[in-house]
Structures are given as structure tokens and as C-alpha cells.
């Protein structure tokens, strides 16, 4: 993959240990970030297990390029489906461990994961760990938090700015449940876009303008990552701070042909073949009449 990637995590200034986990495989274009919670060191166990499982589940399929294709009956690219399945597998692994060991009861983790393909990005997330995209002069939040705070924003109780001071920080969805819904999506990718995956230890400390200012003014990802962590700590560093920055350097211009276009092309070919056969029959008939 023609991408730049920087992964950073910091304990922050308040927490005794780091319950976040991050993982990245640049050659595969795969990044995963998880923010753990609950139990005796259960949070860090859950986040580590989430990242490990997702990375392992995707490693072999992504090596086999021939399997990376669109399912004819699925609106998403096959890589997006693979990513969703890997996150669901991680959920089951965490749930099983929490059920088997009393120390890990009720442990869980948020997760945001992304796969960078030829000209688009596959995204899967659960909880309030986020994915942002900086394109030109615009910073956009690609994921939508699964949290009480977000629900209060959706129903109009808070504005986004007011919600930053809300005490309602609880997530409404996380890995480690008996069943979980994983939000998946795809985003068209352009060269020089910058994607930021982060835990709420960053997004709770810095607002979108502060994140934008650091990313837009620092072209080196290493420097931008360090400045983001320093800024979050300067605001109090109340939680673990984790982030992954990815910048695609080369994007193919080839458009993905959907199953509908393929079907229409196939039908056109059949129609052309049928017309060709009819013409051949007509010519043969004329030849036979001439021989008679």
C-alpha cells in the first residue's frame, strides 16, 4: 500500500495505566484502535484482544488478492465485509473471556478499524472511538459515536458544542456483549487525504478546530501526532490518548464496477451474441436456398 502511517499511544496525566491498544500493518493498509473499559485490568485485556483478533482475522484473507471482490448480493466491497466479520469475531472472543474469568467480568472495549484499498477506505466501528478525515481545508468526522451524549445531540437536547461539557459520557455499544451491531461504511479516498483514528482521550480534550489546526499546519505525520498528544495533555490529559494517522500517497483512478454494471454488461453480451447467431442463421439459409 502506498500510504504513510503513524501510530501513537500515551497514558495521559491522570490514569495509572493505559487501557488503549493500537495496531497497524502498513503493507496491508490495515489500522485498528481500541479503548478498553471495566474489570481488574479488564479494559487493557479487552482492547488488546480486540486489536489482536482483528489483525489476525484479516491477515490471511488480505494476502489472497483474488478473494478481494464485491459480493454480488452485498452493497459493500468484500474487504468491508471481511472487516465487519473480524470485528464480530473480536466481540465474541472478548465476551467468551469475560464469561470464563471472574476478574474480567463486564470488560469491554470500543473499536475503530480501517482498511485502505486502491481508491477507497473500508471502516468499521463500535463505541465512541472516532475516525476523522482531513481533505483540503475541511475536517470531517466520518464515524458517529455510540454514546448517550450523541443520542442527546440527535434528539436536540444538546448542541455539539454544549455536549462537550455534558457528564453523559457512557457508551451505548461496545465489544464484549453477547451480540453487537457493527457500523460499517466506505469512503472514497484521494491522495494527500489525512485520516485520524483516535480514542476519546483525544477527542474529549480537543475540539474539531484544535485538531484541524494541528493537522493542517504540520505536514509531517510524526510531528502532527506528537503535537496532538501534547495538546491533549496540556488540556488535562484526563484519559489515555491514542491515535493513528494515515495518509494515502497514491490512489488508483480505476472505478470499481458494481454488480449491476457487470450484470448489464453480461446481458448486452448475450444480446450481441444472440443477434450474431441470428445473422449467421439468415446467411446460412440464403446459402442453402441458392444451392437448391
For 46-91, the pLDDT digits (tens) are: 999 999 999 999 987 665 644 444 444 468 898 999 999 999 999 9
Cα–Cα nearest to 210, from 231, 239, 241, 236: 231
d(Cα 4, Cα 192) in Å, to the nearest integer? 10
The count of domains in the chain is 2
Q: Is residue 289 over pLDDT 50? A: no
Which pLDDT score, from 0 to 100, does residue 63 have? 59
Average pLDDT rounded to a whole number, residues 90-94: 97
Query: Do residues 278 and 236 share a domain?
Result: no
Query: Do residues 47 and 76 share a domain?
Result: yes
Average pLDDT rounded to a whole number, residues 203-213: 97
**How buried is 205 (Cβ within 10 angstroms: 0-12 exposed, 13-18 middle, 19+ buried)?**
buried
- Provide long-range contacts, Cβ within 8 A and 24+ apart, for 216-221: 216/134, 216/137, 216/139, 221/4, 221/5, 221/6, 221/194, 221/245, 221/247
CA angle 244–173–40, rounded 5-degree value: 80
Which pLDDT score, from 0 to 100, does residue 252 have? 82
Query: Do residues 56 and 123 share a domain?
Result: yes
Model confidence over 128-179: pLDDT tens digits? 999 999 999 999 999 999 999 999 899 998 888 888 877 777 999 999 999 9
Which cell goes with 125? 466501528
Sheet with 30-37, edge to edge strand ranges: 20-25, 30-37, 108-116, 120-126, 183-188
Which pLDDT score, from 0 to 100, does residue 286 have? 47
Query: Do residues 17 and 99 share a domain?
Result: yes
d(Cα 37, Cα 35) in Å, to the nearest integer? 7
Predicted TM-score (pTM) above 0.85: no
Per-chain mean pLDDT for the chain: 86
Model confidence over 186-198: pLDDT tens digits? 999 999 999 999 9
Query: Do residues 166 and 291 share a domain?
Result: no
**For position 15, which CATH number holds?**
3.60.40.10
Query: Do residues 160 and 179 share a domain?
Result: yes
Which pLDDT score, from 0 to 100, does residue 55 have? 97
Query: Do residues 281 and 194 share a domain?
Result: no
Model confidence over 3-51: pLDDT tens digits? 999 999 999 999 999 999 999 999 999 999 999 998 667 999 999 999 9
Within 8 A by CB and 6+ apart from 105, the residues are: 38, 39, 42, 98
Query: Do residues 160 and 221 share a domain?
Result: yes
Residue 165 in 3-state DSSP? coil
Query: Do residues 199 and 286 share a domain?
Result: no
Query: Do residues 283 and 249 share a domain?
Result: no
Which pLDDT score, from 0 to 100, does residue 7 have? 98
Query: Do residues 72 and 35 share a domain?
Result: yes
Q: Which domain holds residue 266?
A: 257-292
Which pLDDT score, from 0 to 100, does residue 166 have? 77
User: CA torsion sign, 264 to 268 to 270 to 274?
Assistant: positive
Model confidence over 115-130: pLDDT tens digits? 999 899 999 999 999 9
Which pLDDT score, from 0 to 100, does residue 258 have? 47
Q: Is residue 260 over pLDDT 50? A: no
Q: Is residue 233 over pLDDT 70? A: yes
Which cell goes with 235? 488540556
Query: Do residues 34 and 89 share a domain?
Result: yes
Amino acid at each position: 500500500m502506498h500510504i504513510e502511517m503513524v501510530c501513537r499511544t500515551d497514558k495521559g496525566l491522570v490514569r495509572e495505566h493505559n487501557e488503549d491498544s493500537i495496531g497497524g500493518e502498513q503493507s496491508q493498509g490495515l489500522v485498528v484502535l481500541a479503548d478498553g473499559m471495566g474489570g481488574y485490568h479488564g479494559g487493557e485485556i479487552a482492547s488488546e484482544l480486540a486489536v489482536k483478533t482483528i489483525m489476525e482475522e484479516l491477515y490471511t484473507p488480505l494476502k489472497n488478492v483474488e478473494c478481494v471482490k464485491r459480493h454480488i448480493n452485498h452493497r459493500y466491497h468484500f474487504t468491508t465485509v471481511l472487516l465487519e466479520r473480524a470485528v464480530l469475531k473480536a466481540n465474541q472472543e472478548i465476551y467468551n473471556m469475560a464469561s470464563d474469568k471472574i476478574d474480567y467480568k463486564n470488560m469491554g472495549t470500543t473499536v475503530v478499524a480501517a482498511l485502505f484499498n486502491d481508491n477507497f477506505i473500508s471502516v468499521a466501528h463500535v463505541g465512541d472511538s472516532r475516525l476523522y478525515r482531513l481533505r483540503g481545508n475541511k475536517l470531517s468526522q466520518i464515524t458517529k459515536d455510540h454514546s448517550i451524549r450523541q443520542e442527546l445531540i440527535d434528539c436536540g437536547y444538546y448542541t455539539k458544542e454544549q455536549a462537550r461539557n455534558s457528564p453523559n459520557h457512557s457508551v451505548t455499544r461496545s465489544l464484549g456483549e453477547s451480540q453487537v451491531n457493527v457500523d460499517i461504511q466506505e469512503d472514497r479516498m484521494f491522495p494527500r487525504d489525512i485520516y485520524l483514528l483516535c480514542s476519546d482521550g483525544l477527542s474529549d480534550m480537543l475540539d474539531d478546530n484544535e485538531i484541524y489546526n494541528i493537522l493542517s499546519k504540520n505536514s509531517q505525520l510524526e510531528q502532527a501526532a506528537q503535537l496532538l498528544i501534547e495538546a491533549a495533555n496540556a488540556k488535562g490529559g484526563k484519559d489515555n490518548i491514542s491515535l493513528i494517522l494515515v495518509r494515502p500517497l497514491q490512489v488508483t483512478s480505476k472505478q470499481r464496477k458494481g454488480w449491476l454494471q457487470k450484470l448489464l454488461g453480461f446481458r448486452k453480451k448475450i444480446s450481441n451474441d444472440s443477434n450474431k447467431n441470428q445473422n449467421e442463421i439468415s446467411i446460412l439459409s440464403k446459402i442453402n436456398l441458392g444451392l437448391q
